[in-house]
Structure 1
C-alpha cells in the first residue's frame, strides 16, 4: 500500500486528451485561481476505483500523495482518507481529522475542497460542534480555498437539519470578491432551502439586494419562475 504503487496506477489510467483539457477547465494558467496545478488526465470514477483498492494505505504514504504537485495524486489520497474516516472509530477519526488539518494547503482547487470539506472536515464538526469556530476564522482568510472550505463544510450540518452556521457564514461572505465563493454560497443557500425553505427565503428577503448575481442565481435555482423573478428584481 505505497504511494508509489498508487501513483503508478494513476499514470497507467491517464488520458492525454484529458490531461490537455483539465488545466484549462480548472484554471491553472498564470494569474488564475489554480495557477501551476498539474494533471495526469485521470477521471474521478477511475480515481475512486483506485482509492477503493488501496483503502488501507497508511498515513505516511497518504502524506506523499496529498503533498504531490499532481492533482490526481492529491485527490486520490484524500478519497482514501475519506474512506478510512467513514470506517473508523472515534479515536482514529481524530487522527485522520488532524492529518487533514495538517494538509489543508493541499486542498487548493474547488473539486478537492468540495470533496473533503463536507465529507470529512464538516462531518467531524457535526460530532464536535464546539470546534466550529475554526470555520469562522477561515472565512476571514485571504485564501480563497480556506473561505470555500469554511462554507462547504457546513453542507454536513445542513444535511443534519442544522442551518445556523451555514447561514451565518453565508452572511459573512456576501461581499466576497471571488466567483467561486459566490457559487459556493449560493449552492449552500439552495441546500438550506431544500430542507427549510422559509429560512432561505427569510435570508433572501434580507440580503438579495446586496448578493452578487451569480450567488443569487444559484440560491434560487430550484424556485418556481415567479419566485425567481421576485428575488432577481430585488
Structure 2
C-alpha cells in the first residue's frame, strides 16, 4: 500500500463514521474521557487488516489521537502484527515497548483486551515476567488489567501459575473492570486446571469481589457455584 501512514488510516476510518453508532458507543462506554466518531469495531478491525504493515512510528501517532476508534485501530494492527508468524523478533519487541511506553493512551478495557494478550503476553512467553507484577501494582486500573489479561497467552499454552499469582495480587482491587478481568481469566485458567481454581476459591472466595467471583465460577457445576457463593 502506497500510503501506509497514520493520516491515511484515520482518513479511511472516518469514511465510515455514523452519528447513530457514536451515540451507541457513548451509551455503552459511559465515559467522558474518550471521544467517539461512530465507526463499528468490525469496520475498524477490517481496516486494520489492510494496514497490518503499519510501522511502529505510525502506530505511535495513531495512539496520540483522542478518538477511541483510531486508538482501537492502532491496537488492532499491533495485535495482528504480533499474531503473524512472519513478524520478526525485533518488530515484536518494538510493539511490546510501544504498548508499555504509551499505556497512558491504552486506557480503556477494550483497548487493553485488544493488545495485551499477544503484544505483551506473547512477547513475554519465553522471557522473565516481572513487568506484569509491576503493572499489577500500578495506580492505573488499565495497567492492572493488562497484568491479568496478558496471562491469557500463557493459559492457552497450559501455563496457569502467572494467572493465579497475579489474581491474588488483585483481590482487593477497587476497580470493577479489573474484577471482571481477573474473574474471567481465573475461569479460563480453571478450564485448564480445575483443581487449581478450586484451591484458589477455597482460600479466597469469601473475600473476592462479587463480580470477580461470579465470573470465576461460571464454568463450575451448579452445586459448586452455590457453595462458593455461600462462602462469600
TM bucket, shorter chain: over 0.9
Pick the aligned partner of 2:38 from 26, 36, 41.
41
Tell me the equivalent position of 1:64.
61
Structure 2 unaligned spans of 5+: none
Looking at structure 2, the residues matched to 176 and 97 of structure 1 have their Cα atoms a distance apart, in angstroms, of: 25
Preserved contact between residue 139 and residue 169 of structure 1 (Cα < 8 Å): yes
- Once residues 176 and 220 of structure 2 are traced to their aligned partners in structure 1, the CA distance between those partners, rounded to angstroms, is 22
Q: Following the alignment from structure 1 to structure 2, what is the Cα–Cα distance between the partners of residues 103 and 175?
A: 26
Q: CA deviation at 1:218?
A: 0.4
Note if contact 2:78-2:115 (Cα within 8 Å) is conserved in structure 1. Answer: no
Residue by residue over 1:201-220, the C-alpha shift from the partner in whole angstroms, topping out at 9 and shown as x without a partner, is 11000111111111110001
TM-score by length of 2: 0.94
Greater alpha carbon shift after TM alignment, 17-26 vs 150-159? 17-26
SS in 2 for 1:42: coil
Q: How far apart, CA to CA, are the structure 2 residues paired with 1:126 and 1:101?
A: 16
Q: Answer yes or no: is 1:79 the counterpart of 2:76.
A: yes
Give, in angstroms, the shift of residue 92 of structure 1. Answer: 2.2
The aligned residue for residue 12 of structure 2 is 9
Deviation at 1:135, TM superposition (A): 1.0
Distance of aligned partners of 1:91 and 1:2 in 2 relative to their CA distance in 1, 3 Å threshold: closer
Picking from 200, 221, 226, the partner of 2:218 is 221
Which residue pairs with 1:32 in the alignment? none
Q: Offset of 1:64 from its aligned partner?
A: 1.2
Cα offsets for 1:113-135 (capped at 9, x unmatched): 0111112101111121x1x1111
**Aligned-residue offset at 1:37:** 0.5
What is the alpha-carbon root mean square deviation over aligned residues? 1.1
Name the structure 2 match of 1:203: 200
What secondary structure does 2:151 align onto? helix
Q: Distance in 1 between matches of 2:90 and 2:5?
A: 24
Unaligned runs of 5+ in 1: 30-35
Q: Give the 3-state SS of the residue equivalent to 1:127 in structure 2.
A: coil
